């Protein structure tokens, strides 16, 4: 009988300890931390030129990161293999371009569908103004979407893809 009481006492202590740990680890939080907001994303269609002027040849996508920086990705279905291509994001529309260049870059064509990371985790860009002046400009998601601009992909003087970007869309 003494052994039964000893084991019962030990079992009771173990159960009480486990329950105490379980209860103390449960937290009643009246103000739970909300989940982080879902990153926003928006794509803008790029069309060809000449005979392809009504054909979609790619898109440019802006995505917001959790730290408020943005990524800008260019997806093309059309490019010229082994040729250097220029990418220009210019203020204003193609019909009424302004003199501010928001982004200028180059890439080598593959002849196949191609994805190019134009900007990665940026919060500001250097805008090229007339006269060679550069100005730091905020480029978070809302800033970028509010811009009235267009993107051109060129091979030499030939436009391969063109489309509106931002609020001009």
pLDDT tens profile 135-146: 888 999 998 899
Per DSSP, the three-state class of 13 is: helix
pLDDT tens profile 8-28: 666 666 666 666 665 555 555
Q: How far is 82 from 112, CA to CA, in rounded Å? A: 11
Instruction: Give the closest residue to 40 by CA, choosing from 164, 125, 140, 149.
Output: 140
pLDDT the model gives residue 27: 58
Q: How far is 155 from 43, CA to CA, in rounded Å? A: 23
pLDDT tens profile 52-74: 889 999 999 999 999 999 999 99
Task: Give the residue extent of every domain in the chain.
Answer: 41-166
Q: Are 130 and 99 in contact (CB under 8 A)?
A: yes
CATH code given to domain 41-166: 2.60.40
The answer to whether the pTM exceeds 0.85 is no
């Amino acid at each position: 009988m003494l052994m039964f009481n000893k084991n019962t006492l030990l079992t009771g202590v173990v159960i009480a300890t486990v329950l105490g740990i379980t209860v103390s680890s449960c937290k009643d939080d009246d103000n739970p931390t909300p989940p982080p907001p879902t990153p926003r994303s928006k794509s803008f269609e790029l069309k060809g030129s000449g005979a392809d002027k009504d054909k979609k040849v790619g898109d440019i996508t802006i995505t917001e990161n959790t730290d408020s920086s943005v990524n800008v990705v260019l997806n093309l279905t059309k490019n010229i293999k082994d040729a250097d291509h220029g990418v220009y994001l210019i203020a204003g529309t193609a019909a009424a371009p302004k003199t501010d260049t928001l982004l200028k870059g180059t890439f080598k064509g593959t002849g196949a569908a191609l994805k190019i990371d134009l900007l990665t985790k940026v919060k500001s860009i250097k805008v090229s103004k007339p006269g060679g002046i550069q100005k730091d400009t905020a480029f978070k998601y809302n800033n970028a979407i509010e811009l009235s601009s267009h993107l051109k992909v060129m091979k030499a003087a030939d436009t391969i893809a063109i489309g509106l970007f931002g609020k001009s869309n």
